[in-house]
Amino acid sequence: MATERTLSILKPDATRRNLTGKINAKFEEAGLRIIAQKRLQLSVAQAEAFYGVHRERGFFRDLVTFMVSGPVVAQVLEGEGAVARNREIMGATNPANAAPGTIRQEFAESIEANSVHGSDSAENAATEIAFFFSGIEIVG
């Protein structure tokens, strides 16, 4: 499988509980490399733009409010099949359905405050990485 890059976000529930290091250890132990990382406070407009595909979903307004409720950590992860690998490490969207050992099973508070975002395809990863990072900020 080819080396890929994916966009990861540690969500406000994770930064609020000081879990950046514990979650990063999960990625690194699984063989993904953190090749870019920054902590930032999203604006409402930025959160709406990032989650634009969910604009018609019933939870969109709640999701945006949650994503601006505190700092996030945006990251680029690199490794073999990184998009799918990161989805495995994250676990299911709803922590009640997340497999043992996954980030969401261990750390998520709810289906909304589920600690991490990860791109769901290589195509979306490229778009999402460009949303947060310029080329000079990514050091593979």
- Write out the residues near ligand GDP by the rule CB under 6 A: 59, 62-63, 93, 111-112, 114, 117, 120
CB of 58 to ligand GDP, least distance (A): 8
Cα distance between residue 63 and residue 51, in whole Å:
9
Contact 75, 117 (CB under 8 A): no
If the CB atoms of residues 52 and 140 are measured against ligand GDP, the closer one turns out to be 52
If the CB atoms of residues 24 and 114 are measured against ligand GDP, the closer one turns out to be 114
Q: Identify whether 54 is a catalytic site residue.
A: no
Cα distance between residue 126 and residue 134, in whole Å:
11
CB atoms within 10 A of CB 54: 13
CB of 62 to ligand GDP, least distance (A): 5
CB of 23 to ligand GDP, least distance (A): 14
Tokens of 139: 């050091």
If the CB atoms of residues 35 and 63 are measured against ligand GDP, the closer one turns out to be 63
> What are the C-alpha distances in Å from 131 to residues 30, 41, 100, 104, 110?
25, 14, 31, 24, 26
Q: From the candidates 66, 117, 125, 129, give the one annotated as an active-site residue.
A: 117
Residues belonging to the active site: 117
